[in-house]
Amino acid sequence: MTSTLSPVSLTAIDAPGQPTPSPELEELYRGFEQELLVPLWTEIGDLMPSSPRPGAQAHAWRWQNLLRLAERSGDLVPVGRGGERRAIALANPGLGGAPFATPTLWAAIQYLNPGEDAPVHRHTQHAFRFVVEGEGVWTVVDGDPVAMRRGDFLLTSGWRFHGHHNQSDAPMAWLDGLDIPFSHYLGTTFFEFGPDAVADRSTPPRSRAERLWAHPGLRPVSQPGPADSSPIAAYRWEHTDAALADQLALEDAGHAGVVEPGHAAVRFTNPTTGGDVMPTIRAEMHRLRADTRTATRREVGSAVWQVFDGAGRVRVGDREWPVERGDLVVVPSWQPLTVTAETELDLFRFSDTPIVERLHADRVQVEGAPA
């Protein structure tokens, strides 16, 4: 609540748990307003609900709509120093118009035309890219060019210089995820421009980081650890796909591995810790067999899902959307989620769970299971 005189505005109301309205109480409340004070007793319902009542709302964005607007931006908006990126963020309808998908997570479509360079910069926010379609862009992270292709999950953890270049003859769009909102609320953001040119326009199929770090179960002895963020610059689709396919094949053969019947899932991890890829963001890939449905599940913390392949339906609370390739759904904290696969359905998911776990606030509830 706000007024033109003061950012604090209090009204005495006659309600259970509230003091009886009187001229003296009104005068006390004007005194609070003048001193920029708010008593707990008027706010307790909002601030201390019995279970999370997030401001963010469940919402779905259609990839085809995002892509159309990104393409139009590609015609009208140059990429260069200052604006830095042709990235268009999902703005949750419950967060007052801020470009935040959830209170902690940024999600954006980024678009780069053939021959374009997105300038080098660095920031304390942690970032990833997920490629739902296309190829031809290299993201150069601390001087190491990393190819971006469909299905790949790429990391740019905090304070690494990075720029992107598209040397192919086709435009490319992808999903960016960052912890921009969290960093914004915490006031922890630093940002720096890098050199004006993309340092390295070479196009190696594999980055140096992958050659050093992306061999299963092997780490280079020369490198110290554990590291806060994963040193693997790109998690390639061929590995993710094979891991999911193997889980389902093991299920077919009667062995353990899937999270629930017909539902395979893998989490991207930091090989130096076995934990999440970055301090603030968890990332996973899920595969549902055709004609299956997940259990209804809710968990503390917010998440964004993107359909990678297939078609189905996503239900969050009392809302439900049909989804297909590229579509994005935001799942606010503690809202029940059910995913139904019509065809085989692959979904990418990212969440703020590492933050929630560090706060020891993590809870999960599966419908039908004991709380």
Q: Which of 62, 85, 313, 363 binds ligand GTQ (CB under 6 A)?
A: 85
Cα angle 332, 278, 145 (rounded to 5 degrees) comes to: 120
Say whether residue 108 binds ligand GTQ (CB under 6 A). Answer: yes
In whole angstroms, the minimum distance from the beta carbon of 309 to ligand GTQ comes to 23
- Of 180 and 232, which has the nearer Cβ to ligand GTQ? 180
117 touches 165 (CB < 8 A): yes
Say whether residue 176 binds ligand GTQ (CB under 6 A). Answer: yes
Say whether residue 233 binds ligand GTQ (CB under 6 A). Answer: no
Site string for ligand GTQ, 151-170 (x = CB under 6 A): -----------x--------
Q: Which of 42, 104, 110, 294 binds ligand GTQ (CB under 6 A)?
A: 110
Q: Cα–Cα distance between 359 and 339 in angstroms, integer?
A: 28
Give which of 272, 265, 278, 336 is closest to 124, Cα–Cα: 278
Say whether residue 198 binds ligand GTQ (CB under 6 A). Answer: no
The tokens describing 116, both together, are 């374009």
Q: Residue 293: CB partners within 8 Å, gap ≥ 6? A: 338, 339, 340, 341
Q: Cα–Cα distance between 269 and 258 in angstroms, integer?
A: 18
Q: Cα–Cα distance between 329 and 260 in angstroms, integer?
A: 21
Q: Cα–Cα distance between 354 and 177 in angstroms, integer?
A: 15
Site string for ligand GTQ, 114-153 (x = CB under 6 A): ---------x---x--------------------------
- Of 123 and 349, which has the nearer Cβ to ligand GTQ? 123
In whole angstroms, the minimum distance from the beta carbon of 139 to ligand GTQ comes to 7
Within 264-303, which residues bind ligand GTQ (CB under 6 A)? Answer: none
Say whether residue 179 binds ligand GTQ (CB under 6 A). Answer: no
Token look-up 């739902």 returns: 132
Helix residue ranges per DSSP H, 305-350: none
- Of 56 and 178, which has the nearer Cβ to ligand GTQ? 178
173 touches 133 (CB < 8 A): yes
Question: Cα dihedral sign for 191, 196, 200, 201?
Answer: positive
Q: State the number of binding residues for ligand GTQ (CB under 6 A).
A: 9
Give 292's Cβ-side CA count (13 Å radius).
18
- Of 95 and 108, which has the nearer Cβ to ligand GTQ? 108
In whole angstroms, the minimum distance from the beta carbon of 352 to ligand GTQ comes to 16
Give which of 192, 92, 206, 73 is closest to 147, Cα–Cα: 206
In whole angstroms, the minimum distance from the beta carbon of 228 to ligand GTQ comes to 19
Token look-up 């889980």 returns: 247
Say whether residue 183 binds ligand GTQ (CB under 6 A). Answer: no
Q: Which of 10, 56, 58, 87 binds ligand GTQ (CB under 6 A)?
A: 87
Instruction: Tell me which residues touch ligand GTQ (CB under 6 A).
Output: 85, 87, 108, 110, 123, 127, 162, 176, 178
